[in-house]
Amino acid sequence: MKKLINRFRVRHIDVLIYKMGHYVEFNVPNFGYEIEKARKKNKWCYTIIESNIVVHVSYLFDKVFLLKLLKKKGPVIGDCYTNKLYRGRSIYPQVINKIAFETLNKGIEDVFIVVNNNNIPSIKGIEKAGFSKFAAIKGRRWLWFYLKKQIVYFENK
C-alpha cells in the first residue's frame, strides 16, 4: 500500500540535462576493465564485475519522458553506480563515454544524461567524459504531469 501511495505523490525535480552530439575521445591509460553489455526490457545494462564484486553499473534507456519537455528524443544514460571501493579511478567517465561512442556510431544524433543538480561527483565525471550541459529543469512532477516547470537552456536547441 505504501508503494502505491508513494507513486502518486508530487516529486520535486531539479536536474541538469547533458548532451553529447558528437564523439569526444576520452581515454584512460590502462583502463583494464571489461564492460559487459546486456539487454533488459527497454534499456541496455553496462556492467563491470571484478572478483565477483560489482564495480560499476550504467543503463542506456531507449527514451525518457522528461526529454519531451525539451522537445528532444534520444537515448539517455542513467541510474549509474560505481562501488565506493573503486571510485576516483575514472571508471564512470570511461564507461559513459564508451556508451556514448557506441550509440553515436549507430547513427543516433544525440545521447543525453539526466543528473540531479546537487550530484557534484557525477557532474564532474559527466563533463570529464565529454558531455556538455544542455538544459536545467526545475519544477514538480505528479504522475506524467510537470507543474511549475522552469527550463533554462545552456546552448542552442
Q: Where are the domains of the chain?
A: 9-153
Q: Residues 22-57: pLDDT tens digits?
A: 766 655 566 788 999 999 888 999 999 999 999 999
> Across residues 1-11, what is the average pLDDT?
71
Label residue 80 exposed, middle or buried (CB < 10 Å: 0-12, 13-18, 19+): buried
What local confidence, expressed as pLDDT, does residue 42 receive?
A: 87
Indicate the SS3 state at residue 32: coil
Give residues with Cβ within 8 angstroms of 155, minimum separation 6.
132, 133, 134
**Residue range 86-113: mean pLDDT, rounded:** 91
In this prediction the pTM is 0.86
Q: How confident is the model at residue 156 (pLDDT cuts 50, 70, 90)?
A: low
Rounded CA separation 120/46 (Å): 22
Grade residue 148 by pLDDT with cuts at 50, 70 and 90.
Answer: confident
Strand pairing class (36-40; 43-50): antiparallel
Torsion angle of alpha carbons 99, 102, 107, 110, nearest 10°?
20
Q: What is the mean pLDDT of residues 127-132?
A: 92
Reduce the DSSP state of residue 120 to 3 states and report it.
helix
CATH class (in words) of the domain with range 9-153: alpha beta
* Spatial separation of the C-alpha atoms in residues 61 and 42, rounded to whole Å: 6
